[in-house]
Each structure stands twice: as C-alpha cells, then as structure tokens.
Amino acid sequence: MGIWMTAVLAAGLLQETPDYLRPADEAENRWTVDGVAVARVGVWGGSDFKFQATRTDGLVSTSKQQALFSASLLAGIEIHDHFMLLATVEGDVATKITAELAGLYVGWHQRPKERYGRGVPDEATVYAGVLGGSLKVNEDNFGDFDKGIGFGGGVSFGWSLSKHMSLELYGEYRYLKFDFQKDVVSGNDSIGGSTGWGGVGVNFRF
C-alpha cells in the first residue's frame, strides 16, 4: 500500500500545468496575488480638445488639434484572479499639445473563454478610477493651463499569447478638464472634458 501511494503522489507532482492555465489556476480556491504590468499605445482624443479664447489683453489663443498620440504603463496587482488595483503613468503628444497624466484604477478581470468556449476573447477587464495631470500648448504666448483631475473608466479584451502574456484591446472614457490661466472675454475657459482613449497593449502577469 505504501509503495502504491508513493507512486500516485510522484505522478501528481510530475504532472505539468496545461498551457492555457496560469500557475494560479492549479488550485481554484487558493488565495493568490499576481503582479500585472501593461505597456499600452493608443490615441486620446475628442472634440472638447478644440480651444479658442479671446483674452482680456486682446489676443486670441486657438488650438484645433483633437487627437494626441499616447503611450502609457499600467502596473499593479491582481487578487485571486479577479480584483485588480492598478496605477498608471502616461505621456501624450500632438503637433502643438503635450500632456502628462497619472492615475489609480480598480478593476475586475474575467476569462470568458473558459465559460463560453470559442468565439469570445480569452480575457475581459472593466476598470475605473481617478486620473489627473498637466497639459501644455507649445505655442508662444498661448497661455498656460492649471493641472486637472477627473475620471477615467474603460474595458479591455485580451487574447492569450502564453499563460503569462496577452495582447489586449482597450476602449476608455475620460472626463478631464484643464482650466485656462488667462482671463477670457469670450470663448473657452478650459480645454478637455469628455474624451475617449483607444489603443492596444501587451499584458504581463507574474
């Protein structure tokens, strides 16, 4: 009997984890904390980026750009394969506009393919949180903007490349305004507001 039990235990220890499962999946009810890091690129844009203001000094500040190229890093932890706490840093640039953002998100992660089978993404995440930073229009005597703080929330769908890495598509809504520091007679007194962000990212879990 002892020899038989030893052989069974040895076979269990030598069994490999299937490729579609991460190490945390071996024990479904085990409490796990995984690290998460996502490198993202995309476009941040919206009609609320258009800006024109007639100032009290008689000058007119105008910017017609509505889209910025964006690169960002999300990093944090995923608890028990579902609940996520993430921090983000981001840089955005257009011909005349530059912005630097940071934020904190909470999210919920699922793997719908395990439940529904083919025809759905391997992974799906919804998230929301606080986003803030600074924006500058790089034009002489345009005027500066105050730092802004607002809301960001979105959804991502991912396709596994390995049990530790996935390719993800992102769509995000943002409400973030930057108040103009110059006194305005007419026109806009802030830039930004309701905007959207879309892009792709590579997600690493460790």
pLDDT in tens, 55-105: 999 999 999 999 999 999 999 999 988 999 999 999 999 999 999 999 999
pLDDT score at 103: 98
Say how far apart CA 51 and CA 178 lie, in whole Å: 11
Backbone angles phi, psi at 134, to 5 degrees: -130, 155
Total domains in the chain come to 1
pLDDT digits (tens, 9 = 90+) for 105-150: 999 999 998 888 888 999 999 999 999 999 999 999 999 999 999 9
Long-range contact pairs involving 77-80 (C-beta distance under 8 Å, separation at least 24): 77/33, 77/34, 77/35, 77/36, 78/33, 78/34, 78/35, 78/36, 78/109, 78/205, 79/32, 79/33, 80/31, 80/32, 80/33
Looking at the domain assignment, is residue 161 inside a domain? yes
Question: Which residue range is the domain that position 197 belongs to?
Answer: 37-46+68-205
20 within domain boundaries: no
Q: What is the pTM of this model?
A: 0.82
Mean pLDDT computed over every residue of the chain: 88
Structure confidence at residue 30 as a pLDDT band (50, 70, 90): low
pLDDT at 25 over 80: no
Domain assignment present for 76: yes
Q: Does residue 156 belong to any structural domain of this protein?
A: yes
Q: What residue spans of the chain are helical by DSSP H?
A: 2-14, 112-116
Specify the CATH number for the domain of residue 194. 2.40.160.20
Angle, CA 178 vertex, CA 42 and CA 147 arms, to 5° = 95
Q: Is there a domain that residue 30 lies in?
A: no
Q: Hey, which bits of the chain come out as E strands? A: 33-45, 51-55, 60-63, 67-79, 83-93, 97-110, 123-137, 148-162, 165-179, 184-187, 190-205
CB 143 within 8 A of CB 155: no
> Can you tell me the distance from the alpha carbon of 129 to that of 166, in angstroms, rounded to the nearest whole number?
23
What is the C-alpha to C-alpha distance for residues 12 and 9, in angstroms, rounded to an integer?
5
Does residue 103 belong to any structural domain of this protein?
Answer: yes
- Does some domain include residue 152? yes
Q: Is position 163 within any domain? A: yes
